[in-house]
Structures are given as C-alpha cells and as structure tokens.
Amino acid sequence: MRWLDAVTGRRRSPKNNLDALFLVPSAAITLQTAGGWTPTGRGAVCYRAVAGPAFAQTQDEITALIDDDPDAPDVQVSRDGFGFTWLVVEGSPDDMADLCTDLHAVNASLEAQGFADGLLCSMVTFEGHGRTVGLVYLYKQGTFYAFAPTGAHQRDNLTEISVRDLLAAELPMEPEMHKWLALWNAPGL
C-alpha cells in the first residue's frame, strides 16, 4: 500500500487474472478426491448486458465461436431476475479443461471489446452429497469462492468454508466472506 493510499483510506483493487480459470481443472481433482464433489460439465459467465448493436454482435460472435465446433458444448444465453445475462456452457463432465477454456474465451472476448465493466463472475458447478455447489470466480476481485445453495434463499456456509479450505493451496480464494455473492437461481447451478 502506498503512503497516500494509507492516508486517504483507499485500497488498491486486486488485479484480475483470467488465467486463474485454467487452475480449476486441477482444483476439480482435489474437490473430487478429497471432498466428494464431481464436475457437472456446466459453467457460466455472468455479466450486465449493454444495449446497442456492438454488444449484441460481440455476444453473437462469442456464442458462434463456442457453437461452431460440432463437438462443442451446448451454449444458452438467459437473463436472471436481477437483470444480469448468463451465458451457460454445458459440456462433458470429464473435460474441465475445455469448459474452462470456453469460459476464459467468453470473459476475454468481452474484455477485449471494451465490456469488462459489465463482467461480474464465472461459475463452474459440482455435484455431491445430494446437492450442487458452484465454484465462483469474481471477475473484479480475481478470486474464487464456493456457493452452496440448500433451498430458496438458503445456503450452506459450512460447505462453502470447507470447499474454500480444500482449495486454498490451489486457487486464489476470496478471504472476505461478505464478498461471497449469493447467486440465487443462477442458470447452470
């Protein structure tokens, strides 16, 4: 922290590192072997869509890029009740590397076209113990956290903390729990 930042009480924002998404496949192995959580093959990127033809064209190009390959995963675009757009990718649970590459491509494309301010998070889902858990990457923080919904507007904080502790050595985990967004009814979860 610089001296002026300390005096004024400002903190520097952490640097975003989209390449951290490429660490998820190895973290998935840890989640599966040590925690009993298996990948579903689903992932999503959440962003605030911008009105206008430039954004619509960028979104169309992104979905076409992922959909063009005959072996490519399914892609759906939807909106949630809060006005955010979710681009959901569903592929093989056995190919986390391709899923993370697709999620990285979505984020990087939106970023390259000047829409980085609208990026909120990316999520990869896992199943186990009778429920689903999302491993969430906060775009603006450059960190991960777990989201474990148990019902309508209820979550399992112990599971979320357990996943954080399992992955602390492999992923940059978000230390401040108040930044762990509740992604109620998130598509792909």
| Residue 11 clears pLDDT 70, i.e. is over it | no
pTM here? 0.87
CATH fit for domain 16-179, picks 3.30.70.600, 1.10.10.10, 3.40.109.10, 3.10.350.10: 3.30.70.600
- Cβ neighbours, 10 Å, residue 66: 21
- Residues in the chain, how many? 189
CA distance 14 to 158: 26
| Residue 73 clears pLDDT 80, i.e. is over it | no
pLDDT band for position 152 (50/70/90)?
Answer: confident
CA distance 138 to 62: 20
Give residue-wise pLDDT tens across range 91-129.
899 999 999 999 999 999 999 888 899 999 999 999 999
Which pLDDT score is estimated for 96? 95
Give residue-wise pLDDT tens across range 58-69.
888 888 877 776
